[in-house]
Amino acid sequence: MLLFTLLLEVIWILAADGGQHWTYEGELENQHCLWASEENCSRSIRDSDLTLPGPHGPDHWPDSYPECGSNAQSPINIQTQSVTFDPELPALQPHGYDQPGTKPLELHNNGHTVQLSLPPTLHLEGFSGKYVAVQLHLHWGQKGSPGGSEHQINSEATAAELHIVHYDSDSYESLSEAAQRPQGLAVLGILIEVGETKNPAYEHILSRLHEIRHKDQKTSVPPFNVTELLPPRLEQYFRYNGSLTTPPCYQSVLWTVFNQRAQISIGQLEKLRETLFSTQEEPLTLLVQNHRVPQPLNQRIVLASFIQVRSLYTTGKMLSLGVGILFGCLCLLLAVYFIARKIRKKRLGNQKSVVFTSAQATEA
Ligand SMILES: *[C@@H]1O[C@H](CO)[C@@H](O)[C@H](O)[C@H]1NC(C)=O
């Protein structure tokens, strides 16, 4: 019996680790940063931005995972002037997020991200089925470079992004079963930017990172109010059909990307960027830049649950409008000036002739 469970364990481990090795670009190059001076480090990052995509980087994902090269991939750049307003989209309703039970949650450095397990008491309503939560994880950039989020809104990336992963428990038994079926998963995407103050909700995760610096390390976190990781306005979101943003890139995700951002402090962002390693032992490699670039939208549509309050004029338009008005005023002023001059001349001429005629009259 013991032998049997051991065998099962081995099979399970092999199955879990059986996928091909994959990385994000630049992971290998960042190794320098642990040994080099800061200046050399940022130089090596700059160089690696231009060249040297890793042999297992995103360009090579489709070699081992064909779906990564398919045509409905995530993330995307959401262009707000091209989204379709859908008044049928209801406000997102997270249930059980406020109090996720009493059992501790597992926080895990899996070498690609930091992941927090979530109990199935957390679920989403406002979808066609019931989607229960499984885990949440983060994506981020690296020191000295902007960006880090996966989704972009109007080509603007933020410092980091939170993903909360759910699966359709009405239709499927488990996450792994649902992960390969259309709309089997529902993921919430929260763009994270740097704000003035420390975010206490994110601190439940970030303050524990030093306990799981190496790949495959785990720790447990007391349950906390997960709603507070979300932005305040849950009724403003974008919805589209996409994929997992990491191999195997299954196109099974109904995405919800919130319009509003969450905020963490610069200190919290630094902790996220500088604490974790993507490796288990030497050579230790910082776990950074774990975000995929936006993928082509192709034929897909992006729905919006709200009407954009867009400023009518962009800065460029405002500027040309200003110049136009100024030029118009100048023309008008000149016209008035010349007309006034002409009228005065005419009047003066009339007066002269009047004086002349009256002089003639007195002479006569
Ligand atoms: C996603 O795909 C399904 C099935 O093709 C479709 O019914 C649904 O309208 C799509 N949703 C969006 C937001 O495009």
Q: What is the C-alpha to C-alpha distance for residues 325 and 317, in angstroms, rounded to an integer?
A: 12
* Residue 221 CA: distances (Å) to CA of 45, 140, 227, 347: 34, 21, 16, 93
Query: What atom of ligand 1 comes closest to residue 301's alpha carbon?
Result: 14
Would you say residue 44 has pLDDT above 50?
Answer: no
Torsion angles phi and psi, residue 229, rounded to 5: -80, -15
Given this model, what pLDDT does residue 340 score? 82
Q: What is the C-alpha to C-alpha distance for residues 269 and 61, in angstroms, rounded to an integer?
A: 28
- Would residue 112 show up in a list of annotated catalytic residues for this protein? yes
**By mean pLDDT, which of 12-26, 78-92, 171-185, 226-240 is the weakest?**
12-26
Given this model, what pLDDT does residue 51 score? 37
The pick from 84, 241, 256, 298 for probing ligand 1's pocket by mutation, whose C-beta has the most ligand atoms within 8 angstroms, reads 241
Q: From the CA of 237, how far away is ligand 1's center (Å)?
A: 16
Name the active-site residue from 56, 60, 108, 112: 112
Q: How far apart are the first and last CA of the chain?
A: 145
* Residue recorded with tokens 């970030």: 206
Cβ of residue 31 lying under 6 Å from some atom of ligand 1: no
Q: Is the preceding omega at residue 87 within 30 degrees of 0, hence cis?
A: no
For 310-333, how does the pLDDT look when each residue is reduced to its tens digit (9 = 90+)? 655 566 666 777 787 788 878 788
Choose among 173, 149, 144, 148: nearest CA to 42: 144
Cβ of residue 301 lying under 6 Å from some atom of ligand 1: yes
Q: From the CA of 95, how far away is ligand 1's center (Å)?
A: 24
Instruction: Take atom 5 of ligand 1 and give the residue whose Cα is closest.
Output: 182
Cβ of residue 293 lying under 6 Å from some atom of ligand 1: no
Q: From the CA of 182, how far away is ligand 1's center (Å)?
A: 9
Cβ density class 128-162: b for 16+ within 10 Å, e for less: ebbbbbbbbbbbbbbeeeebbbbbbbeeebbbbbb
For 93-147, how does the pLDDT look when each residue is reduced to its tens digit (9 = 90+)? 999 999 888 999 999 999 999 999 999 999 998 888 899 999 999 999 999 988 9
For 259-272, how does the pLDDT look when each residue is reduced to its tens digit (9 = 90+)? 999 999 999 999 99
Residues 6+ apart with CB under 8 A from 328: none
Q: From the CA of 332, how far away is ligand 1's center (Å)?
A: 56
Choose among 217, 236, 225: nearest CA to 280: 217
* Residue 93 CA: distances (Å) to CA of 42, 194, 221: 43, 26, 24
**Is the model more confident about 35 or about 275?**
275
The pick from 183, 237, 300 for probing ligand 1's pocket by mutation, whose C-beta has the most ligand atoms within 8 angstroms, reads 183
Query: What atom of ligand 1 comes closest to residue 303's alpha carbon?
Result: 13
Q: From the CA of 241, how far away is ligand 1's center (Å)?
A: 6
**By mean pLDDT, which of 39-48, 75-84, 225-234, 240-249 is the weakest?**
39-48
Q: Are 186 and 254 in contact (CB under 8 A)?
A: yes
Q: What average pLDDT score do residues 185-194 get?
A: 98
Instruction: Take atom 10 of ligand 1 and give the residue whose Cα is closest.
Output: 241
Cβ of residue 303 lying under 6 Å from some atom of ligand 1: yes
Given this model, what pLDDT does residue 313 score? 56
Q: From the CA of 125, how far away is ligand 1's center (Å)?
A: 17
Query: What atom of ligand 1 comes closest to residue 86's alpha carbon?
Result: 13
Average pLDDT of the chain is: 84
Query: What atom of ligand 1 comes closest to residue 300's alpha carbon?
Result: 14
